[in-house]
Structure 1
Amino acid sequence: MPANRVPWTPNVLTSSTAPKSLIDDRGCAVYGHFDGPVDNLATDKFCYFNEMDKPASKWAKYFDFKQFQFVSIVTPHYVIGVALADIRYVGSAFCYLYDIKQNQLLETSWLKPLGMGYQMSASPMQGSAKISGAKGTVEFDIEQGAWRVKLATLGIEADLNLQPEPLSLPMAMCNPTGYSGWTYTEKHNALNVKGKLIINHEPQPLQRVTAGYDFSAGFMRRETSWRWASINSLTEEGRLGLNLAAGVNETGCNENAFWLNGERHLLGAVHFEFTRQRSAEDLPLQWRVYSDNGQVELTFTPQNCRQEKLNLWLIKSNFRQYLGHFNGVITDNLGKKHQLTNVLGLTEDHFARW
């Protein structure tokens, strides 16, 4: 063990009961890890102030609220990634289909102005998010915290229910953001998938398909960036899920979590070490994702990339999501080590000004 590392000992991080309303009677956000989705974000009750401690204007309260939702579906032959986002000035979405064997990625995207042609769910417990047009339709329906995904684009016909293992907990949390904002994030990986999935007119059996979702919303920083890693995989140990991030959601608690056969382990802070890609033609070299105490020690080798750069004056986005393979070790909160060998997953490097 390197001299600067503090030896890690098994530890069980806990979560509290999810509040019905994320905003309390004082107009303040409730912070911490929760054991399930919050019923109501209650943004109308939030007392939002500017940098000089004055009540923020109605325009600021409206335009400073952002939200996005993402689903990853992994089959033995394909990876599907689909996202919807509302950054107030515009609504956007993308969907990609990655052929694992051929290492080929097809993608499409949508961009809609000022709330027209799309909708987002205001609650992580109940609601619908949808965008549609000539390129097809993407829809996420949430009912009592359970996700249903409908896709009709890129040769994909899907109507899928994402189902956790019995008693499995999502990673749900809220942290302060910037001077007076907050961010609510909920993620659940390694979920069972039921329903219908047809790709290029071929029905896909679902017995070995797994998925994960991300619901994030809040009064986020005007300028932000993050690094992220995600796994939804079937391994010899069973259904393995992983969510790791750095750059956001680290003020008080973080969003790092590991699931095995539905059992959730909340993890400590991690570092992402890599050389940023500068040209569209090149993939970066191997990433290292690790924690100071050795609980997480992974390498990631990119194979392909979905990327987009937008420079629209008020808003900017430099987005790269990589598909590739993880190798290394994760130690769960009971001290058991789990070896990852060429496990397919995602990483992301993103700068946003919104």
Structure 2
Amino acid sequence: MSRYQPLLTKAPAQLIQANGQPAFGLFDASVVDFNLQDFIYQNLMDNKASALARYFHYKQFQFICVTGSDWLLAVAIADIRYANSGFAYLYRFDMNLAVSKGLLLPGALGCRMSDSPSTGEAKQQFGAYQVTIKTSLTDWQLNINTKELKASLAIEKASQMPMALCAPTGYNGFTYTEKSNGLKVTGSLEFQSKALDLAQALAGYDFSAGFMRRHTSWRWASVNTMLEGKAFGLNMAAGVNETGLCENALWFGGHIQHLSPATFVFDRKDHTKAWQVGSLCGEVQLEFTPLYCRQEKVNIALLASNFRQYVGFYSGFVWLQDGTRLELNTVKGLAEDHYAKW
């Protein structure tokens, strides 16, 4: 068991500082003002980057997961400049059934994004498909309108500290990431015109934006569940945001605990084999058994994506900072393996 616990930096009032560069660190709160117009973006030879490079190199995505008693909902919107993509799917554990809808549209067609994880609205719409994510200082509001999925949900985020960091990316970029798991959910959710029970539902969100690597990849794990009568959330990732920092954290009863770097062992060619998800200092030792995989492969001109997001069960244990061992016994969660050229 590790006593690893990093020092937090007070969240800056603005992400971009007086010198035109981002404030880097692991923050104690969300950064409200992104003031991206003040960022001095340079190319690899330290010259001012062109307006086209500045526009096309900036990427952003938002993701929300809601886990209920016998179902899991996942929703994403991504702006990768050359195109925008998104999906909404719901997996029923009791029926071993998934209903999924995804979009890939050119440029900014049908899509707009928020400049901040604390204020604004992200939206993707095309035909009968519409997903909207509104964020404020107190909550995230998710609205879905598709043929088989309809939702009007509020996810309470003010009840606990998020995992919020800004890290250098590559030689001249940066990535801001904010995540929180184990959050209370209210509102309504319909699956094939039938209301789903939200009494036991918990949610997690992910806001990520910045000047990211042209070629990037990551492995990721996420859990929202109840343990010992308290809300529990977990976020683990490897491959990004690791330039002196890492985005790994758990939440238990509303309190955040930062974790050491993550390790993932899995078979990319066999979607049925279990994953081993752990941490460098031993706080996390889990096995993930996949049940369903949402996948897509895109390889066109400037863009490539090899994406696999799995729904399944986690079993194992985590150590809390006070020495308490929490057991996870077939709890619902997500795992992801993704390569992108964007």
Q: State the TM bucket, normalised to the shorter chain.
A: over 0.9
What is the aligned counterpart of 2:310 among 322, 325, 341?
A: 322
| Cα distance, 1:342 vs structure 2 | 0.5
Instruction: Note if 1:116 corresponds to 2:93.
Output: no
Offset of residue 14 of structure 1: 3.5
Partner of 1:149: 142
**1:11–1:334 contact (8 Å) kept in structure 2:** no
CA distances 1:91-132 after superposition (whole Å, capped 9, x unpaired): 111111111112221211112221121100011110000011
- How does 1:177-192 map onto structure 2 within 5 Å? 177-192=169-184
C-alpha separation in 1, matches of 2:146 and 2:71: 15
Q: State the distance in 1 between where 2:285 and 2:39 align.
A: 39
Q: What does residue 97 of structure 1 align with? A: 90
Identity of aligned residues (%): 43
Show the counterpart of 1:220: 212
Separation (CA, whole Å) in 2 of partners of 1:295 and 1:9:
6
Describe how 1:251-330 pairs up with structure 2 within 5 A. 251-277=243-269, 283-330=271-318
The answer as to 2:12 corresponding to 1:19 is: yes
After TM superposition, give the deviation of residue 198 of structure 1 in Å.
2.0
Does 2:231 match 1:239? yes
Cα distance in 1 between the residues matched to 2:333 and 2:275: 13
Distance across 2 between alignment mates of 1:107 and 1:178? 34
Picking from 52, 55, 71, the partner of 2:48 is: 55
Per-residue deviation, 1:223: 0.1
Segments of structure 2 that go 5 or more residues without pairing to the other structure are none
- Residue aligning to 1:351: 339
Structure 1 residue identity aligned to 2:72: V
State TM-score, norm by structure 2.
Answer: 0.97
How far apart in 2 are the matches of 1:296 and 1:126? Answer: 33
Structure-2 change in CA distance of 1:160 and 1:243 (3 Å): same
SS in structure 2 of the partner of residue 62 of structure 1: helix
- 1:67 partnered with 2:60: yes
Q: In the alignment, is the contact (CA less than 8 A) between 1:9 and 1:335 conserved in 2?
A: no
Question: Distance in 2 between the 1:18 and 1:258 partners?
Answer: 19
Decide whether the 8 Å contact of 1:107 with 1:154 is kept in 2: no
Match of 1:3 in 2: none
CA distance in 2: counterparts of 1:110 and 1:270, whole angstroms: 31
- How far is the alpha carbon of 1:153 from its aligned partner? 1.4
Which range is displaced more, 43-52 or 58-67? Answer: 43-52
Shift of 1:12: 3.3
Query: Unpaired runs of 5+ in structure 1?
Result: 1-7
CA contact (8 A) 1:165 1:262 kept: no
Distance across 2 between alignment mates of 1:302 and 1:212: 19
How far did residue 154 of structure 1 move? 4.3
TM-score, normalised by the number of residues in structure 1: 0.93
Partners of 1:40 and 1:250 in 2: CA distance: 23
Change over 3 Å in CA distance of 1:352–1:250 after alignment to 2: same
Number of residues paired by the alignment?
342
Q: Is the 8 A contact 2:86 2:103 kept in 1?
A: yes
CA RMSD of aligned residues (A): 1.4
